[in-house]
Amino acid sequence: MIQEKDFDQLGKSVEANGLLPAGLWATLGRGSDGIGITGHKKYGSDTITYSFDVEINNNLGIYTLHGYQVKMLHVGELDHKIINGINTAELEREMANINWANALPGLFDKDNRIADIVLQLSGLLAASDPRGTELSELLGLKYLAGTPLEGYVNLNQIRKKYETSLFIPLNGNEQDLILGESIWLLMGHAVSKPILPEGNKQGMCWMVMEHGQISQTPDFDLSGKLSALPFAYPKSLVQQAEYLVKLSSGAEISDKFRINGQLFRARFRADPLSADILVMDRNRNKLDLNQLKSDPDKLRDLLGKDQDKRKGLGL
């Protein structure tokens, strides 16, 4: 936990961990019953919700922050259908083009797009096809959760199925996870952190999420694994260093690879649980690079899927 007698000093810790924008803490009142904050942000089509409470001991004049709760709502790609004349694929494209964080209820009469989308969602709910109800709920969950319109749709019944939660303890040391890093953990990624000093023990470890909790796993030769990847073009020392920093922070990287003279694009990220780098195709399916080298059919199948994906994107 983090404990401070100085209210402003605790605010610096809150802002440093990405839980509030810089300067916002100074505008908060210092109520005697404590402070509770909830925030929302979008990460692609996923909704991130985070919250924390500050306890106040009025007798000792101490402010305490144990950590924060972070949740990720991930619906993913939907299997669309035309129901009662409503093309749900086109409906989703329309919803994806609206900034729902600014879509206040009072704008219904001013923005015909919002009114039309709400009408179509209602039409899906009223359809006799159970899939219509499901798609209406999933579209609402994907785009309206964490926005001013969340209260206008019933999301509670299906939300738990698509939401992952994690409590992030804060202790004011180098192992603290900022909000951005905790999001990586919710996505199944790993973040490199220093081992807390214990006698002569020093070095790095990896923070991962296992069974809904944070756990530590030993460091591995990330640099060696990166150097062994069959990149399409050689990486300079500067590029390798940049990739190491990104991978250590939990990021996923996309780059071109070359196997048996064939080029394809893949994603990759650190995977300390297997002491390796996880390489994936465009759809994030795991790739076995050794198998692709030895099996021409597997490589041919991957190249075909890669070309189909590029055509679908108009590339």
pLDDT tens per residue, the chain (315 residues)?
A: 899 888 889 999 999 999 998 888 888 877 667 889 999 888 888 889 999 999 988 888 899 999 999 999 999 889 999 998 999 999 999 999 888 877 776 666 666 788 888 889 888 988 888 899 889 889 988 988 888 777 766 677 788 889 999 999 999 988 999 999 999 999 999 999 998 766 556 789 999 999 889 999 999 999 999 999 999 999 999 999 999 999 999 999 999 999 999 999 999 999 999 999 999 998 889 999 999 999 888 888 888 866 655 444 343
- Note every long-range contact of 242-249, with CB atoms under 8 Å and residues 24 or more positions apart, other chains counting: 247/222, 247/277, 248/191, 248/192, 248/222, 249/181, 249/184, 249/191, 249/192
DSSP string of 187-256?
A: TT--EEEEPPPBTTB--EEEEEEETTEEEEEE---HHHHHHTS-BSSPPPHHHHHHHHHHHHTT--EEEE
* Structural domain contains residue 287: yes
Residue 82 β-bridge partners: 87
Indicate the number of domains in the chain. 3
144-174 burial string, b = 16+ CB within 10 Å, else e?
bbbbebeeebebeeeeeebbbebebebeeee
Q: Are residues 249 and 109 in the same domain?
A: no
| Residues in CB range of 21: below 8 A, 6 or more apart | 15
Q: Which domain holds residue 89?
A: 82-157
Would residue 202 count as lying in a domain? no
Find the length of the chain.
315
Partnered with residue 40 across adjacent β-strands are 49
The torsion of the CA quartet 298, 300, 306, 307, rounded to 10 degrees, works out to: -160
The DSSP annotation for 243-257 comes to HHHHHHTT--EEEEE
Q: How far is CA 2 from the centre of its chain?
A: 25
Burial class of 68 by CB neighbour count within 10 A (0 to 12, 13 to 18, 19+): buried
pTM as predicted: 0.80
Type of residue numbered 111: D
Q: Is residue 150 located within the same domain as residue 32?
A: no
* Beta bridge partners of residue 257, listed in sequence order: 231, 264
69 in a structural domain: yes
Cα 18 to Cα 32: distance, rounded to the nearest angstrom: 24
Residue 77 burial by Cβ neighbours in a 10 Å radius (0-12, 13-18, 19+): exposed
Rounded Cα–Cα distance for residues 193 and 161 (Å)? 31
Same domain, 172 and 65: yes
Same domain, 149 and 169: no
Q: Is residue 137 part of a domain?
A: yes
| Domain shared by 134 and 280, yes or no | no
- 141 lies in the same domain as 23: no
What pLDDT is attached to residue 176? 93
268 bridge partner residues? 253, 279
Looking at residue 312, its pLDDT comes to 42
Whether residue 129 sits in one domain with residue 91? yes
